[in-house]
């Protein structure tokens, strides 16, 4: 995996299938995620959207019996090639989860930890500050860096998790329902932060909240589940088009609340 | 069905648009009929009742804003509501045209020459019929029908040109007719504009059905500038 390669897309899937044992959970996904854009994946429960997202940084490796068929290209290389180091993948492709999950340590340690074990060079204090600034949390915590992270509000904890992800200098940030545990104000803060971060990072977000996808993303992919319970990608396009004039009736039915 | 409220409100709005449309159709037909019969009482009523058209338009607009705020409509629903906002504006303006014609009746003197009234009535019949079918196409989201209607605007334009020539001739022949000939020209112009606005409604029907915003041209469009 050579980060110098100038691949056209941040991530590209080619005929991707995903299996849990013998069950094909996702089939035939062909998607191209633009660099430094926010792409949203929406769809009903069970359509495989989180499965797809987690396969982008090999988080599914932790679930026994799972496998990917087809290709997921990152810098021109299939993420699932045997010579690819999943730890390196997870450094370059970070993830923020549904529920904020800071370590029960200080704010400072939460941000510094990943950077330290990944051997990110530079002065740690500066890296912590830079990451917290980027995550729009610095002003709120700069006098309390030794406070336990669990004492922060939910929205602050989520931004801390984003700072933690940024500290290891990723290229892509995956977000799996990052606002579902947050109130509307904290949600808007995260969405504004995503917009800001997209100047330097590629963001892919899975969300149940269609309004959030409409508000916060540049591109939207709609997934649904077929008769065989396998998730498929139905339609992918610019968010404005998907929400005003979707091409596929299944997309229309889902986003207008007729199904799902 | 998880979206009963939205569906119910959308059906209600369709009915309200049809109701507003029929108020406008009626006002326009009645205003030209009152002009033909020189029925000042009827014109006065049409002039006064224009406010009912305005109120209905504002009520629909308000209902749409509430629906957008509370139901967050998307895709086809969103296009439909956005299109209604345009359509009711067109209808309200057509109501103003009918009101204008009612006013003209009161301004015309007793001795006005009404030799063009047959053509003016014919313009009114065609324009009102176009509107009626355009609204039918709108609620049915029938874009093929909507695309076919604007062509008829040519008939209305031809009648307008005929009336124009006739009234200008009479003004040249007898300058004493200038005042009332101008009033009648104004009435004909209102009807000509009404037919143009029907085309705008047809464009919105195409938008709802296909998502495409496009001009539906009749032969008097700008690309025919040289033929004016």
* Domain map (residue ranges) of chain B: 4-214
Out of B2, B73, B75, the one facing A246 most closely (by C-beta) is B75
A35-55 pLDDT per residue, tens: 999 999 999 999 999 999 999
Cross-chain residue pair A214–B6, CB shorter than 8 Å: no
Are residues A258 and B76, on separate chains, in Cβ contact within 8 Å?
A: no
Whether A24 has a pLDDT exceeding 80, the answer reads yes
Contacts of A246 in chain B (CB under 8 A): 75
pLDDT of residue B63: 95
Residue A7, pLDDT > 80, answer no
Contacts of A109 (CB under 8 A, 6+ apart): A103, A149
In chain A, which residues have their Cβ closer than 8 Å to the Cβ of B75? Answer: 243-246, 251-252, 255-256
Highest mean pLDDT of the ranges A111-125, B2-16, B51-65: B51-65
In the three-class reduction of DSSP (H, G, I as helix; E, B as strand; rest coil), residue B165 is classed as helix
A243, A245, A257: residue with CB nearest B3? A257
Say what the ipTM of the complex is.
0.78
Question: What is the number of CB-based contacts under 8 A between chain A and chain B?
Answer: 32
The residue-averaged pLDDT of A93-111 equals: 96
**Pick among B2, B74, B83 to test the A interface (most A CBs inside 10 A):** B74
Report the pLDDT value the prediction gives residue A5, as an integer from 0 to 100: 63
- C-alpha–C-alpha distance, residues A215 and A230, integer Å: 28
pLDDT above 70 for A75: yes
pLDDT at B98 over 50: yes
Contact partners, residue B83, CB within 8 Å, separation at least 6: B138, B204, B205, B207, B208
Domains and CATH numbers, chain A: 9-255 (3.40.50.300)
Do the chains contact at A244 and B75, CB–CB below 8 Å?
Answer: yes
Average pLDDT over every residue of A156-176: 96
Q: Taking an 8 Å Cβ-Cβ cutoff, which residues of chain A contact chain B?
A: 210-211, 214, 243-246, 251-252, 255-258
Q: Which residue of B has its CA nearest to A250?
A: B75
Residue B74 and residue A245: Cβ atoms within 8 Å? no
pLDDT of residue B228: 46
Phi-psi region of A55 (alpha: psi -120 to 50; beta: other; left: phi over 0): alpha
Say yes or no for a CB contact (<8 Å) between A258 and B72: no
pLDDT of B180 strictly over 70: yes
The residue-averaged pLDDT of A187-200 equals 95
Q: Which of B2, B3, B211 sits opposite A245 (nearest CB)?
A: B211
pLDDT of residue A260: 57
**From start to end of B73-189, where are the E strands?**
none
pLDDT digits (tens, 9 = 90+) for B99-158: 999 999 999 978 888 899 999 999 999 999 999 999 999 999 999 999 999 999 999 999
What is the Cα–Cα distance from B189 to B194, expressed in whole angstroms?
Answer: 9
CB contact under 8 A, A244 and B3: no
Residues of chain A neighbouring B73 (CB-CB closer than 8 A): 256
B211-223 pLDDT, tens digit per residue, is 999 999 766 555 5
What integer is the mean pLDDT of A18-28?
A: 96
Q: Would you call B79 and A245 a contact, using CB atoms and an 8 Å cutoff?
A: yes
**What average pLDDT does the structure give for chain B?**
94
A248, closest residue in chain B (CA to CA): B75
* Neighboring chain B residues of A255 at a CB cutoff of 8 Å: 74-75
The CATH code of domain B4-214 reads 1.20.58.220
CB distance A258–B1 less than 8 Å? Answer: yes
pLDDT in tens, B18-39: 999 999 999 999 999 999 999 9
* pLDDT score for A1: 60
């Amino acid at each position: 995996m050579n980060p110098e390669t100038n691949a056209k897309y941040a991530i590209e899937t080619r005929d991707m299938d995903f299996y849990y044992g013998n069950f094909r959970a996702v089939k035939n996904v062909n998607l191209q995620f633009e660099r430094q854009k926010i792409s949203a994946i929406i769809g009903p429960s069970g359509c495989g959207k989180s499965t797809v997202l987690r396969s982008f940084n090999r988080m599914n490796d932790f679930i026994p019996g799972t496998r990917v068929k087809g290709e997921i290209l990152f810098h021109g290389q299939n993420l699932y090639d045997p010579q690819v180091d999943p730890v390196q993948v997870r450094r370059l492709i970070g993830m923020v989860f549904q529920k904020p999950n800071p370590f029960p340590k200080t704010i400072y340690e939460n941000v510094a930890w990943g950077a330290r074990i990944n051997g990110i060079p530079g002065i740690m204090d500066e890296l912590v500050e830079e990451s917290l600034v980027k995550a729009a949390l610095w002003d709120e915590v700069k006098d309390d860096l030794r406070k336990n992270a669990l004492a922060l509000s939910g929205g602050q904890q989520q931004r801390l998790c984003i700072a933690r992800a940024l500290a290891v200098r990723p290229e892509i940030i995956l977000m799996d329902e990052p606002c579902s545990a947050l109130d509307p104000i904290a949600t808007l803060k995260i969405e504004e932060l995503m917009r800001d971060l997209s100047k330097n990072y590629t963001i892919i977000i899975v969300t149940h909240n269609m309004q959030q996808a409409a508000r916060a993303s540049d591109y939207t992919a709609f997934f649904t589940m077929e008769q065989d319970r396998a998730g498929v990608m139905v339609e992918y396009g610019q968010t404005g088009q998907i929400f005003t004039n979707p091409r596929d009736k299944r997309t229309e039915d889902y986003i207008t609340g007729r199904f799902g | 069905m998880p979206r009963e409220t939205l569906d119910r409100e959308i059906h209600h709005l369709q009915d309200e648009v049809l109701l507003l449309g029929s108020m406008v159709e009626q006002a326009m037909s009645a205003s030209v009929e009152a002009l033909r019969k020189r029925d000042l009482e009827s014109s006065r009523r049409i002039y006064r009742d224009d406010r009912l058209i305005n109120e209905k338009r504002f009520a629909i607009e308000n209902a749409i804003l509430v629906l957008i705020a509370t139901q967050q409509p998307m895709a086809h629903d969103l296009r439909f509501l956005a299109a209604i906002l345009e359509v009711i504006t067109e209808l309200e303006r057509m109501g103003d045209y009918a009101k204008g014609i009612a006013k003209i009746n009161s301004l015309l003197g007793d001795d006005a020459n009404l030799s063009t009234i047959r053509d003016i009535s014919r313009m009114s019949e065609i324009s009102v019929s176009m509107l009626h079918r355009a609204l039918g196409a709108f609620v049915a989201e029938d874009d093929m029908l909507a695309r076919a209607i604007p062509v008829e605007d040519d008939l209305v334009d031809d009648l307008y040109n005929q009336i124009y020539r006739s009234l200008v001739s009479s003004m040249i022949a007898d300058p004493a007719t200038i005042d009332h000939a101008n009033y009648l020209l104004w009435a004909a112009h209102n009807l000509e504009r009404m037919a143009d606005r029907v085309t705008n409604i047809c464009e919105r029907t195409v938008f709802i059905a296909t998502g495409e915003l496009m001009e539906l041209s009749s032969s008097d469009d700008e690309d025919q500038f040289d033929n004016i």
